[in-house]
Amino acid sequence: MKKLILYFLFILPYLIVGQELASPNGKLQMTFTLEAGVPTYQLSLDGKEVVKPSTLGLELKEMENLLDGFSIVDTEKSTYDETWNPVWGEQAEIRNHYNELFVQLKQDATERYVNLRFRLFDEGLGFRYEFPEQENLIYFVITEERTQFAMTGDHKAFWIPGDYDTQEYDYITSKLSEISSLMAGAITPNASQTPFSKTGVQTALMMKTDDGTYINIHEAALVEYSCMHLELDEENFVFESHLTPDAVGNKGYMQAPRNTPWRTIMASKNAGDILTSTITLNLNEPCAYEDTSWITPVKYIGVWWEMITGKSNWSYADVPSVKLEHTDFNSLTPNGKHAANTEKVQRYIDFAAAHGFSQVLVEGWNVGWEDWFGKSKDYVFDFLTPYPDFDVEGLRDYAAEKGVRLMMHHETSGAVRNYERHMDAAYQFMVDNNYNSVKSGYVGDIIPRGEYHYGQWLVNHYLYAVKKAAEYKIMVNAHEAVRPTGLSRTYPNLIGNESARGTEYEAFGGSNPDHTTILPFTRLIGGPMDYTPGIFEQDMSKLSSNNKSWVNTTIARQLALYVTMYSPLQMAADLPKHYEKHMDAFQFIKDVGIDWEKSLVLEAEPGDFVTYARKEKGTSNWFVGRTNDEQPRTSNISFDFLDAGKEYVMTLYGDAKDAHYKNNPKAYQIKKFRVNNKSKLSQYCAPGGGYAISIMEADKKGAKGLKRL
């Protein structure tokens, strides 16, 4: 009897206010309830719980919290189904298909209203808080968002520590219960940056349950709000949102009507579904620009790796002293290690023109680096004044003659107001000198006021920079900015971000060999990364005698990354002279597409391997890429994605039998076969290795004498 009463007590609220919703294919089911006035949701996959009942709410500053005391005013269900075409992307067509539950809540005692909007897609759930226009809630300050994600057990997780300023960590794979004990060992990119707690982690967070369900938690459309981290209750495996504070501890300045970003939870038995999911993009608004003809994918090289490796400098001279005004160059002696000089840039332009790259990035072209290192940060870069050895107009004309463009570089040094003050002039300078893309950067502590990189103030700045760039028809690739949340659907001139540990860390001590098997499940969920692959020389001491780092990869895997690390912006990051030693392998980087009609995941297991096949937009070419962790493995794929009845020639760039990322990374083999949609491949992947394949329709001559696979 007692059991029966308990049962009814538990089930009663569901009976009264329970709202159920299923995804279009019925595989995901969610329930919304008010448990004693507290908004609560729950999510299941094929009838099995993925997220246990989890509560929703917000804490406000000097006001009654929005946590409980709610009643339901109204609910509404609807279905949405549209197909749209991104300006660039992994698919030429994206279907946006979901069932929606809209819940209007009233906090009776305070007469304030909060709406919840849930969208259930076949691969996941998105929901957000909406604050409608009303009398009793106009301006308010959020001190914490309390959105729970209650996990059903001690899942395997792929995580990096919660940090308000950087995501440039190596991933850690562990049980949820091990996070706090491993937190201290997380490799910090910078000694001054430390995790904010022992159990806080960043999103996108990837997990796998013991019975093989893949779960991913992230956010979509982060606009005018702080970036969300997740704090774990280790005993109960319940995550709760933890927003990035501002310099005085507040987490969000709001004015109704306003919405929060979407909180997303993907769930599937198939790891590939997490990779091909489009819910992050679909939860963003449609493109805000009428004319997008000026936005194009970019394959580029750059005067860059030599500074990263320590071979040369960004700065023209070394200035040891602390100063409060711009350096007078006439009084300085050049350090002799300045890379961005006219002659070298011309050589890069020649190389780009000869091999089909559309742009050349040049870092360290402008004055300010000495001032930065001299610590007078608010007087630093004006983004207009070149060093004496960099001829802006001469290079503009030289590049134009060769059909190449230079890519601008704006390192802000974290002096964000300084950047905003100069932004119009800097973008106009770009237009005047034929630049249409900028790599921006936010290295160091943010000034003024000591804001954090992932707080609301900076989130607003990054988008301001993108929208303002659009006024000048400029594309943006921001490093050290907040990680993306699908905003490129609305603002497709945001063609790249870093916001994770990129290839540069291979020159700063190395990254784990499994890093690129995890990034597609985490960082890339929100949008493309400027990962800067293509390193052919692993031994960093060959570039700079003091640099003892080793690039943890085989050459074949470097090629694969152009396919597995999706981005409309791809760099061939190594020095031209290193490519010149391996022109046969370099051919893949020249050939590989950067904008896709279709993308398929052929094999995937986070932390172990990822194999993609992608069909290039506007051609019949396919490219396959496989990235492997530190284990030797065999990849087995079928070419059934090819058009039936057609013959193709495939070029395979694979690891040799004795290849190894540590001691034999340059051992690759290039083989050609004829293939059709019946062909199958079983291919060895070395530790830290992988392979890349280009597949092109066979013309009779090229295919002659080739063996059929």
AA identity, residue 190: N
In the complex, what is the shortest distance from the CB of residue 304 to ligand NOJ, in angstroms, rounded to a whole number?
6
Closer of 113 and 372 to Ca ion (Cβ): 372
- Pure H helices in 115-157: none
Tell which residue, 479, 488, 470, has the closest CA to residue 444.
479
- Cα 681 to Cα 584: distance, rounded to the nearest angstrom: 21
Closer of 165 and 411 to ligand NOJ (Cβ): 411
583: partner contacted, choices Ca ion, ligand NOJ, none (Cβ within 5-8 A by kind): none
Closer of 314 and 586 to Ca ion (Cβ): 314
In what helix (H) or strand (E) does residue 623 lie, and over which residues does it extend?
A: strand 622-628
Stretch that binds Ca ion, among 63-71, 234-242, 472-480, 593-601 (CB under 5 A): 472-480
| Stated length of the chain | 709
Count of residues that bind Ca ion according to CB under 5 A: 1
172-193 core/surface letters (b: 16 or more CB in 10 A; e: else): bbbebeebeeebeebbbbeeeb
In the complex, what is the shortest distance from the CB of residue 74 to ligand NOJ, in angstroms, rounded to a whole number?
48
How remote is the C-alpha of 5 from its chain's centroid?
50
How remote is the C-alpha of 393 from its chain's centroid?
34
Closer of 22 and 443 to ligand NOJ (Cβ): 443
In the complex, what is the shortest distance from the CB of residue 310 to Ca ion, in angstroms, rounded to a whole number?
15
Closer of 411 and 616 to Ca ion (Cβ): 411
Question: What is the dihedral sign for C-alpha 12, 14, 15, 16?
Answer: positive
Query: Omega before 256 cis (within 30°)?
Result: no
Strand partners, 670: 653
In the complex, what is the shortest distance from the CB of residue 443 to ligand NOJ, in angstroms, rounded to a whole number?
5
90: partner contacted, choices Ca ion, ligand NOJ, none (Cβ within 5-8 A by kind): none
Which residues form the interface with ligand NOJ (CB under 6 A)? 304, 363, 411, 441, 443, 479, 498, 504
In the complex, what is the shortest distance from the CB of residue 185 to ligand NOJ, in angstroms, rounded to a whole number?
24
Tell which residue, 632, 631, 627, 565, has the closest CA to residue 592.
565
Closer of 23 and 477 to ligand NOJ (Cβ): 477
165: partner contacted, choices ligand NOJ, Ca ion, none (Cβ within 5-8 A by kind): none
Region at 653 (left for phi over 0; alpha for psi -120 to 50; beta for the rest):
beta
513: partner contacted, choices Ca ion, ligand NOJ, none (Cβ within 5-8 A by kind): none
Residue the block writes with tokens 């001032």: 371
User: Is 504 an active-site residue?
Assistant: yes
In the complex, what is the shortest distance from the CB of residue 168 to ligand NOJ, in angstroms, rounded to a whole number?
8
Stretch that binds Ca ion, among 24-32, 478-486, 607-615, 652-660 (CB under 5 A): 478-486
In the complex, what is the shortest distance from the CB of residue 479 to ligand NOJ, in angstroms, rounded to a whole number?
4
Q: CA dihedral defined by 697, 698, 702, 707, rounded to 10 degrees?
A: 120
363: partner contacted, choices ligand NOJ, Ca ion, none (Cβ within 5-8 A by kind): ligand NOJ
Closer of 39 and 534 to ligand NOJ (Cβ): 534
Strand partners, 334: 317
Closer of 409 and 479 to Ca ion (Cβ): 479
**Residue 492, CB half-sphere, CA atoms under 13 Å: how many?**
20
411: partner contacted, choices Ca ion, ligand NOJ, none (Cβ within 5-8 A by kind): ligand NOJ
Tokens matching residue 663: 């001691």
Which position among 123, 370, 480, 504 bears the catalytic label? 504
In the complex, what is the shortest distance from the CB of residue 168 to Ca ion, in angstroms, rounded to a whole number?
6
400: partner contacted, choices Ca ion, ligand NOJ, none (Cβ within 5-8 A by kind): none
* Residues 6+ away with beta carbon under 8 Å from 177: 154, 234, 237
Closer of 441 and 606 to ligand NOJ (Cβ): 441
Residue the block writes with tokens 């490799």: 187
In the complex, what is the shortest distance from the CB of residue 480 to Ca ion, in angstroms, rounded to a whole number?
5
**Residue 237, CB half-sphere, CA atoms under 13 Å: how many?**
17
CB atoms under 10 Å from CB of 703, counted, come to 17
DSSP per residue, 242-288? EEPP-TTS--EEEESSEEPPEEEEEEESSHHHHHH--HHHHTSPPPS
Stretch that binds Ca ion, among 150-158, 294-302, 477-485, 526-534 (CB under 5 A): 477-485
- Cα 492 to Cα 298: distance, rounded to the nearest angstrom: 13
Rg of the chain taking only CA atoms, in angstroms? 26
Region at 356 (left for phi over 0; alpha for psi -120 to 50; beta for the rest):
left
Tell me if 635 sits within 8 A of 610, measured CB to CB: no
**Residue 625, CB half-sphere, CA atoms under 13 Å: how many?**
26
- Name the site residues for Ca ion (rule: CB under 5 A): 479
Residues with active-site annotation: 504
